[in-house]
Structure 1
Amino acid sequence: MPRGELVRLVSMQLLANACLTGMRMAAPLHALRLGHGEVAVGTLLALFSVSQVFLALPAGRYCERHGLKRPVVFGILGIVAGGAIAAIWPVLPTLCIGAVLTGGGNGIVSIAVQRQVGRIAGAAAALRTSFSWLATGLALSNVLGPVVAGVMLDVWGIRAAFAATAALPLLACMLLPGATDLVAGAARAPQVPGDAWDLWRNPDLRRLLCITCVLAACWDVHIFLVPVLGNERGLPASVIGTIVGAFGAAAAAVRLLTPLVAARLREWAILFTAMLGTAIVFALYPLMPAALAMGACSVLLGFTMGSTQPMVMSLLNQLTPQHRFGEAVAMRVMVNNVSSVGVPMLCGLAGSVLGAMGVFWGAGLVVGAASRLALKLGTP
């Protein structure tokens, strides 16, 4: 893949996702400070994913027909509108509307960019390298968004935090001129009747989607519980944002090394090791009382989970017909976000009964048990 094209795509997704991650840190923290309980916060977090569940497959087909530019523009408009609504009137109902718009817009941008990378990258080694850089950009967005939102919230207030994060995706529009639109031409993309669920009949693809669903659930557990724990312990928003940002920084760092490791190990082996490591960190996380210790666990979790996305995307590309990769990416987004809808609400309910420690340990048991699916990916 041409280096300039890869930089453009990585930057687009980084800027779009930074708004989402900043909103997902600031919105529940603000809701807690308004006096709303954990169930309301869990519902708010779930709304960031609701629209992606319903938009993913239509967005994937739309990207196959229209390429990159038009979907990215529509997605950015949705993201900016969501942030702007939350900034103008930061109360729970408008935060919910902003969550739906921001999540849906980010899902469209993500599908368009990931499809573009898969179509341009080429061979398996180039796929792993390209998706590693794309995943590195996503990890950096998990640093940029929460840190910007946390600092702005502490210094200028919640409206400034939402406005600053909403401005980030606008920079991505400057990267669209010169980008290549790759559409599925009629000769290369035979018409496939019905919906995309016939891809589910591939057992390896089915296992891979289950793995990525579990990993997304672990991500959401972490995002949900860090503001809750931080608020309980009286930590300022900038510190909470830094703890969340430490996760993103560690994920970005490990993804820079992923191509070197992937040259010596198969994708399934990296997934298996990372899932076991995630289970161990989840067992230790709630035992850490201080901000520094929480930050250390966040870094370790970033190391374990950060290595998984390039491997998932590389396998997804290898297991899917080329002309249907956009649909496969959309299925992954949809399955992930089904988890992201349910997990925050389940965390809110379970947290009120079991506490944060029980939720962390439950998530660790699930991801540890699901690591067997990665072993099956390595079985001929």
Structure 2
Amino acid sequence: MTEIASAPKKNLRDAFWWLIATMICVHACMATTRVTASLWVLNQGYGEASVGMLLSLFAVAPIVLSLWAGRLADRHGFHRPVGIGVTLAFVGALLPLAVQQLWAIAIGCLLCGGAVAVAAVALQREAGLMAEEPGELKKIFSWMALGPAMSNALSPIIAGLLIDHVGMTAAFGFATALPVLAWVLARKVPRNPPAVYTKSFREPAAWDLFRLPAYRRLLLVNLALSAGWDAHSFVVPVVGHARGLSASSIGLVLGSFAAAATVVRLAIVRFADDIDEAKALRTAMVVAMLTFIAYAWLPGTFGLMCGSALLGMALGSVQPMILAMMHRETPPERHGQALGLRMLTLNGATVGMPVGFGMLAAATALTAPMWVMAAALLAAQWPARKL
């Protein structure tokens, strides 16, 4: 709270809600583009491997931009990195709206993924500075995690309805309007410039954070759980399309996952003081592992919605815990670096997963990626038990 102590209390409370609203809009742009691009590729007959390739592009740009985004946030605060992220999102959504060809949609996916990486680091860092004591971090990051959860809940449903009743162009147009709204909201956050660095200041390398054992373990657990999100995002459109579900039904299945993630994060806000973070992480991993194993046999749209909701509850509870623990385990002046390195590690390790999921699904069974993720979560219990 030291960096924002001079701001009026009312401004701080107002700024927090603007942060959440900005996060929702930026992430919704990416989520809408992801769903619309996946269905466009399937409708054009490109196949499951092409869907995996497109989804992997969302993780490519964060590999290049995440560490830079962390340093940018530590040095310049909130508005500059968010402005860059919003610009990337706008261009990334506008390109497939203007040119509905595979190359344009691929570049749009690349830019939208980079936009979320740059903006999210600044948003999470700014939110962490608003905690007056360590116990508030779970509540703050639970509220912040509601941004992606709400956008994931609403965006697929809206995109599906627009595709079914208007067309692909309308869905891409909706994605294009969201970054503009995000910048309008971000400008309402009061400016909070960080400490000024002298020319003699040497910023420590972000890789030094790997020397912290707790930080390493958190990244390993986060990696396994984050890959579960990727597996679910890949499997649902592919399985839904194979079963002949409409775009609206596929959107409902994806939306049920995100709605459950939203509910569980609201519960964390309410019961944050009573939650043991390490035990909650381990429990979530077990629930997700069992659901991944059973997902292939779930019947119809309703069955897929129930399975997705259970996965949403398990995986949705993870991010607030990990971010709260990460903020406590890293120096305050390096929170941006820690968040950027986390994003780099997650995206670097998972960039090839959608492609691998596509190849695996094409060669074996459509739900095989979920069985692979069940095995990964079982292996991740080992570092989780040391947290």
Same fold at TM > 0.5:
yes
1:147 Cα deviation (Å)?
1.5
CA distance in 2, matches of 1:229, 1:307: 25
The one-letter code sitting in structure 2 at the alignment partner of 1:64 is D
The one-letter code sitting in structure 2 at the alignment partner of 1:133 is W
The one-letter code sitting in structure 2 at the alignment partner of 1:233 is R
1:193 Cα deviation (Å)?
4.3
Map 1:22-171 onto structure 2 (within 5 A): 22-171=32-181
Are the structure 2 counterparts of residues 368 and 225 from structure 1 closer, same or farther at C-alpha, using a change threshold of 3 Å?
same
Counterpart contact for 2:143–2:269, Cα < 8 Å: no
Instruction: Give percent identity, aligned residues only.
Output: 36
Q: Secondary structure at the match of 1:370?
A: helix
Unaligned runs of 5+ in 2: 1-8
When normalised by structure 1's length, the TM-score is 0.95
Q: Secondary structure at the match of 2:59?
A: helix
CA distance in 2, matches of 1:120, 1:354: 48
CA distance in 2, matches of 1:26, 1:340: 21
The one-letter code sitting in structure 2 at the alignment partner of 1:138 is P
Which of 293, 309, 319 does residue 309 from structure 1 map onto? 319
1:186 Cα deviation (Å)?
4.2
- 1:78-114 deviation digits (Å, cap 9, x = unpaired): 1011111011112211111001111111211111100
Residue 321 (structure 1) aligned with residue 331 (structure 2)? yes
Q: Find the counterpart in structure 1 of residue 363 from structure 2.
A: 353
Stretch deviating more after TM superposition (56-65 or 261-270): 261-270
Cα RMSD (Å): 1.7
- 1:122-149 deviation digits (Å, cap 9, x = unpaired): 3122111110100112200101221121
Q: Secondary structure at the match of 2:352?
A: helix
Residue 363 (structure 1) aligned with residue 362 (structure 2)? no
Counterpart contact for 2:58–2:109, Cα < 8 Å: yes
1:63 Cα deviation (Å)?
1.2
Which of 6, 11, 32 does residue 21 from structure 2 map onto? 11
Which of 209, 216, 225 does residue 226 from structure 2 map onto? 216
Counterpart contact for 1:216–1:339, Cα < 8 Å: no
Counterpart contact for 2:18–2:188, Cα < 8 Å: no
CA distance in 2, matches of 1:176, 1:27: 27
CA distance in 2, matches of 1:186, 1:76: 25
Q: Find the counterpart in structure 2 of residue 185 from structure 1.
A: 195
CA distance in 1, matches of 2:229, 2:284: 13
The one-letter code sitting in structure 1 at the alignment partner of 2:285 is M
Counterpart contact for 1:69–1:181, Cα < 8 Å: yes
Q: Find the counterpart in structure 1 of residue 278 from structure 2.
A: 268
- 1:310-357 deviation digits (Å, cap 9, x = unpaired): 001000100100000000010111112123311101101111122123
Counterpart contact for 2:27–2:147, Cα < 8 Å: no
The one-letter code sitting in structure 2 at the alignment partner of 1:300 is L
Tell me the matched-pair count: 377
- 1:223-246 deviation digits (Å, cap 9, x = unpaired): 001000011011111110111011
Q: Secondary structure at the match of 1:180?
A: coil
Counterpart contact for 1:64–1:183, Cα < 8 Å: no
Counterpart contact for 2:265–2:317, Cα < 8 Å: yes
CA distance in 2, matches of 1:78, 1:39: 26
Q: Find the counterpart in structure 2 of residue 197 from structure 1.
A: 207
When normalised by structure 2's length, the TM-score is 0.94
1:184 Cα deviation (Å)?
3.3
The one-letter code sitting in structure 1 at the alignment partner of 2:354 is P
CA distance in 2, matches of 1:69, 1:356: 42
Q: Find the counterpart in structure 1 of residue 244 from structure 2.
A: 234
Q: Find the counterpart in structure 1 of residue 353 from structure 2.
A: 343
1:176 Cα deviation (Å)?
2.6
